[in-house]
Amino acid sequence: MAGEVLELSGVGVRRDGADLLRDVSWSVDEGERWVILGPNGAGKTTLLQVAGSLLYPTSGDVDILGERLGRTDVFELRPRIGLASAAVAERVPPGETVLDLVVTASYAILGRWREEYESADLARATALLDALGAAGLADRRFGTLSEGERKRVQIARALMPDPELLLLDEPAAGLDLGGREDLVRRLGVLADDPSAPTTVLVTHHLEEVPAGVTHALLLRKGEIQAQGKVDEVFTPEHLSECFGLSLVVERHDGRWAARAAR
């Protein structure tokens, strides 16, 4: 029987008098592949930060990988979670090489500093870069990469410590059509891999949802508007309500698309 990876109960996040999340109750079981979808400002990144133990809720309970937030040492918990987000990318030292950036994830650090790496770590980092179509970038400096190249490298870094939970915040944002399709295809391969970690991916766009996603959560104004199996959540009714306009929703070959109804 699959174990629980995330369990949020009545979670609220309040900052500067604003409710960023309200009464969020959500559970994620081992092996599931979730997508969190919602308009700008809905609270998606805030929810992902709570799931990644980077943000404590104002109210409610959060269990991550069996540990209760507030009662556990987050410095032991965080290495069990792989996170790829723009906020992490901004903290990368500009001169850091791609291979160093990926391999240092084993040591939960940013910036190489005299560590002696095992050859097995270097081999794993190289294999992950290869799986994400970024093998040719290993010796490049992170600061010189294009947006699409950065996204792939960040996902390789997030996977490096073999996390039990993988959190991806808008992995396809800023990519051109070819880059998006290539990345979404690779994320689909990852979703289909039974040895890949339980995954939660945040996006604004239905077109960025990889095939193989099993569950979806719709957020609007800090509240859950629908959640459950992806087929039951990605209906025109739920999506129209979530985005506040009448939508036509289509599905082909496991991928989704939405456009405004005429």
150-189 footprint of ligand ATP as x/- string (CB under 6 A): ----------------------------------------
Applying CB under 6 A, among 41, 95, 111, 136 the residue interacting with ligand ATP is 41
β-strands 165-169, 81-84 pairing = parallel
Q: Is residue 68 a contact point for ligand ATP (CB under 6 A)?
A: no
3-class DSSP assignment, residue 77 = helix
Applying CB under 6 A, among 11, 38, 137, 210 the residue interacting with ligand ATP is 38
Q: Is residue 16 a contact point for ligand ATP (CB under 6 A)?
A: yes
- Nearest distance from residue 163's CB to ligand ATP, in Å? 21
Q: Which is nearer to ligand ATP, 17 or 194 (by Cβ)?
A: 17
The strand order across the sheet containing 215-220 reads 81-84, 165-169, 198-203, 33-37, 215-220, 223-229
What's 74's DSSP letter? H
**What number of chain residues touch ligand ATP (CB under 6 A)?**
13
Q: Which is nearer to ligand ATP, 6 or 138 (by Cβ)?
A: 6
Q: What is the DSSP string of 207-229?
A: GGPPTT--EEEEEETTEEEEEEE
What amino acid occupies position 101?
Answer: L
Taking the C-alpha atoms of residue 66 and residue 104, their distance in angstroms, rounded to an integer, is 26
Footprint on this chain of ligand ATP (rule: CB under 6 A) = 15-16, 18, 20, 38, 40-46, 204
